[in-house]
Structure 1
Amino acid sequence: MKILTQHFNTKYDTAPFSQIKLEDYKPSFIENIASAKAEIDAIVNNPQSPTFANTIEVLDFSGNALDRLSSIFFNLNSAETSDEMQKIAQEVSPLLTEFSNDITLNSDLFKRVKSVFEQKESLTLMPEQATLLDKKFKNFSRNGALLSDDKKIRLREIDTELAKLKLTYGENVLAETNNYELIITEETDLKGLPEGTIEAAKSLANSKNTEGWIFTLDFPSYIPFVTYADNRELRKEIAIAAGKKAFKNNEYDNQENVLKIAKLRYERANLLGYETHSHFVLEERMAQNPDKVKSFLNDLLVKAKPAAEREFAELTAYAKELDGIDHLEKWDGAYYSEKLKQKLFNLDDEKLKPYFQLEKVLNGAFTIAQKLYGISFTEIFDIDKYHTEVTTYEVKDENNQLVAIFYADFFPRKGKRNGAWMTSFKSQYIKDGINERPHISNVCNFTKPTETKPSLLTFNEVTTLFHEFGHGLHGMLANTTYPSLSGTSVYWDFVELPSQIMENWCYEPEALALFANHYQTGEIIPQEFVEKIKESASFQEGLATLRQISFGLLDMAFHSNNPNGITDVKAFEKAVFENTTLYPDVAENCMSVSFSHIFQGGYSSGYYSYKWAEVLDADAFAYFQEKGIFDKEVATKFKENVLSKGGTEQPMVLYKRFRGQEPSPDALLKRAGLI
């Protein structure tokens, strides 16, 4: 147990994964919570008058061992979980919520914080210190410090219940994903599918001693199936299965959880004096309030919908001409879009994949980071991993100083949730003159290598890798004093800027030349393919934008109104989607019950931020294009004003310091072909 309650005696203070036993977690959480409480008590009982140093600063550095333990445990609960681990998560989440509430509802601690906050004007604080003081005060006021005792008790109850509900929601989605298999025994039913997808399905069937081929709801299996399988009935079967995850009135059904989460969030916001959950959340975002978000999404809708309707009509006509289909269904969208894209651009993923071998793409991302920011990545083999498939890297600067440790975990497996994300095992901060460097992880779900082929990525997966690597750079290049302001600890509608801007290099010939080599011949991707990738970048951008807007509006519908009148999740969702949907509704399907971003992750009232950040990233990349995509001066400005600064100042202040002006949406609309 001691291993998780002290400084790690390992190289670079990395997590000692191989030494951790499941039974160590809960006692370690209990011990680390007790130590963190003792640190809080020391602040409260300090006989000296409250100052920035003895209250605000000490508070930010408190609970370090608990933070590290939490990051290790919850990261593994997403990437390498088990039934036992999920049980521990259900047991420790309420303890952590209670501890968090013990801090924010500690009236004596708040008195000290408030005392420093009230001296703010007379203190000579650096911008980062002023931000920290503001953040600490708001952390109390926004979490109930100003409430009466009976309301504080109710707030604690809500937070404990929400923590458990969100965990259960995610576990249900994972269980439903794992519980479905499409077993194919007739070879003719594989028609249209790429060779690599067929091989992966065969390999999975062999591993389960099953005859034939197994397809699952994991993205590397599901996406190629609905995109390429000629058998429409089977596409329909797997698409409906994906759409009805946690919507089957069985033990994993999430309808009740959705309603409970939405209602508790609303009650919590009201308790704190806010009109709705969205009003509460958006106070700490660039967008500021629900009206601004809705107007942003609806303005985009006005521009995107005509394009989406044109694209849908074109797709419908194409499906009719090709296969005599009168009505396009949801399971037809990806299939006919891919066929139309091949017809228009003579370009499909199967042609491109041989040029995107995973290892080369990753090395390409490393090379681009080195050209822009002067950092190098070297694989190392002497630090612990939590799974054999994880690769580990030492990241160093031009003076050979350690910048970060980087973990890469790229393949699906049973205990790993779907999707792609960046996270950290250790934050960056400066204490006692030592700049503690961060430990950053990228987790994705790409197709595994087979006996005959390495892992080859679709172009969409290439952009996913670059996206998560952009988040990774935001974490790795962090250079702030305080842990709570470091790396990706920024406003949620700003956090996607570093990730989304990285995707732009995937479309640039100069960048592609660094990593897009044929895995067998070594040939660089042909120029005509590069041109077609660029041309096709805005293919069906209207439909894609409409889809993103619909998700943002659904999020706002649940959270910017009183949800107590919602009794039927499906009916509510259908009404919200009415203005953004072009495909016929599928009665058996419901999105809200597996919309993990907003009901399990941190995106509630924040899903709009993908589009918001696209405005920022298109505008920022336009600056790189003006000067050259590897221009050192622009890259240094971006690194110093955005990537390294974390949440130390207001995002718009940082952005304007980098760009010299506020962002204009024109660059995005132009890039998307919407103007």
Structure 2
Amino acid sequence: MQETARREGLPEDIAPWDWRYLAEKVRLQRYALDDAEVKPYFSLENMLAAMFDVAGRLFGLSFEERHDLPRYHADVRSWEVSRHGQLIGIFLSDNFARPGKKSGAWNSIYRAQGLHGGTSLPIVVNNTNFAKGEPTLLSFDDVRTLFHEFGHGLHCLLSNVRYQRLAGTRVPRDYVELPSQLMENWALVPEILDRHARHAETGAAIPPALVAKILAAQNFQQGYATVRYTISALLDLALHQEADGVDDPSAFEAELCQHYGLPAEAELAHSLPHFNHLFNGGYAAGYYVYLWAEVLEAEAFARFEESGDLFDAGLADALRRHIYSAGNARDPRQTFQAFCGREPSAQAMLKKRGLAS
């Protein structure tokens, strides 16, 4: 970045407000990854098929689309979900932006799984806001979002507990993002890409060189991103340990940044007055959970990598029983240890981010 600044006649002493401009220049020089090159290989229809393929290989699920079920909007699609021939729930997919629809992506439950007082089968919906097209083409970030929300959906669909209040995603925030972030890993599994990442016009499989570029670009700026996320999580926790409150937020921020040695070029991603997670959505003193979930999911996926088979049947069954089906009926820390056989460490996450030596 300093070399880029020098070439452009800018100060080499990079300020926070210069960072994104210079980083984008470096990204284009190093990776030249253009969405226009990537998107034709990731049609929405093919990526839905890829998700269902992964769920079938891992958990024995099958998805049968139903056109006769009532829907709240014409864009919504419905599938009956079965496991080994037995119906386990209904999966809805609401993928397109429209006036009045909330932005972003999320998973919702219309009915939770439960066994108390009779069997209750889950009704689950994944929401995204893609622009409708013929076909609808996705960036790889969009594909990750699709798989992420599907991970939440599977957490609800595979739930096998007695009480609905303990079903699916109704677990502590420390563990709710584990099944969703874990599912993102299978979006880049070579055999899934080879089967489903097909050019929308020619039907050709995505070239290995383009996959390599996508993988390389995933680690760009991970040091910067990790430091900025971590300092925000530490700020959140430190604030909630101040029993008498904070009189001078600016001084509090500055002292914390100095204490942890935050590089001046990085600066805080979230200054206290606009740190929305502190005030909305129940993440106060819990902003750390996204990175913690990445520690957990990287550790869990490493088990599959170590086995040499990313669809290892024994591991997949253990993953279903201990993670996706357990809900909050058992201590999630214990169920994670039952699957991994060890306490989580940061090493797998650092390796995934390209930060491990």
TM-score by length of 2: 0.88
Matched, 1:382 2:65: no
Higher mean alpha-carbon deviation, 571-580 vs 465-474, is at: 571-580
Change (3 A) 1:435 1:319: farther
Deviation at 1:501, TM superposition (A): 1.0
Matched, 1:645 2:331: no
Equivalent residues of 1:615, 1:663 under 8 A apart: yes
Q: Aligned with 1:429: secondary structure?
A: coil
Equivalent residues of 2:232, 2:270 under 8 A apart: no
Residue 93 of structure 2 aligns with which residue? 408
In structure 1, what is the Cα distance between the partners aligned to 2:44 and 2:328? Answer: 32
Equivalent residues of 1:618, 1:667 under 8 A apart: yes
Deviation at 1:462, TM superposition (A): 1.4
**Aligned mate of 1:636, from 308, 317, 331:** 317
Residue 437 of structure 1 aligns with which residue? 121
In structure 2, what is the Cα distance between the partners aligned to 1:356 and 1:552? Answer: 34
**Aligned mate of 1:393, from 72, 79, 84:** 79
Q: Which amino acid aligns with 1:609?
A: V
**Aligned mate of 1:547, from 216, 228, 232:** 228
Matched, 1:671 2:352: yes
**Aligned mate of 1:419, from 89, 104, 109:** 104
In structure 1, what is the Cα distance between the partners aligned to 2:343 and 2:266? Answer: 40
Change (3 A) 1:534 1:590: closer
Change (3 A) 1:325 1:389: farther
Residue 626 of structure 1 aligns with which residue? 306
Deviation at 1:335, TM superposition (A): 5.1
Matched, 1:485 2:171: no
In structure 2, what is the Cα distance between the partners aligned to 1:389 and 1:597? Answer: 31
1:196-244: CA deviation from partner (whole Å, max 9, x where unpaired): xxxxxxxxxxxxxxxxxxxxxxxxxxxxxxxxxxxxxxxxxxxxxxxxx
Runs of 5+ in structure 2 lacking a partner?
none
Equivalent residues of 2:178, 2:294 under 8 A apart: yes
Name the % identity.
Answer: 41
1:99-139: CA deviation from partner (whole Å, max 9, x where unpaired): xxxxxxxxxxxxxxxxxxxxxxxxxxxxxxxxxxxxxxxxx
**Aligned mate of 2:292, from 609, 612, 615:** 612
Q: Aligned with 1:616: secondary structure?
A: helix
In structure 2, what is the Cα distance between the partners aligned to 1:515 and 1:335? Answer: 35
Change (3 A) 1:563 1:443: farther
Q: Aligned with 1:513: secondary structure?
A: helix
Deviation at 1:345, TM superposition (A): 2.9
Deviation at 1:334, TM superposition (A): 4.7
1:143-172: CA deviation from partner (whole Å, max 9, x where unpaired): xxxxxxxxxxxxxxxxxxxxxxxxxxxxxx
Q: Which amino acid aligns with 2:49?
A: N
Runs of 5+ in structure 1 lacking a partner?
1-314
Deviation at 1:487, TM superposition (A): 0.6
Deviation at 1:506, TM superposition (A): 2.3
- 1:447-526 to 2 correspondence within 5 Å? 448-450=131-133, 454-526=135-207
Change (3 A) 1:594 1:535: same
Change (3 A) 1:635 1:445: same
**Aligned mate of 1:556, from 218, 233, 237:** 237
**Aligned mate of 2:34, from 348, 352, 376:** 348
Higher strand residue share: 2
Matched residues, number:
352
Q: Aligned with 1:630: secondary structure?
A: coil
Equivalent residues of 2:110, 2:124 under 8 A apart: yes
In structure 2, what is the Cα distance between the partners aligned to 1:366 and 1:390? Answer: 17
Deviation at 1:348, TM superposition (A): 2.8
Higher mean alpha-carbon deviation, 507-516 vs 623-632, is at: 507-516
Higher helix residue share: 1
In structure 1, what is the Cα distance between the partners aligned to 2:352 and 2:270? Answer: 32
Residue 357 of structure 1 aligns with which residue? 43
Larger radius of gyration: 1
In structure 1, what is the Cα distance between the partners aligned to 2:63 and 2:208? Answer: 28
Q: Which amino acid aligns with 2:132?
A: P
- 1:225-244 to 2 correspondence within 5 Å? none
Q: Aligned with 1:442: secondary structure?
A: strand
Structure with larger RCO (C-alpha < 8 A, sep 6+):
2
- 1:176-255 to 2 correspondence within 5 Å? none
Q: Aligned with 1:551: secondary structure?
A: helix
In structure 1, what is the Cα distance between the partners aligned to 2:49 and 2:171? Answer: 28
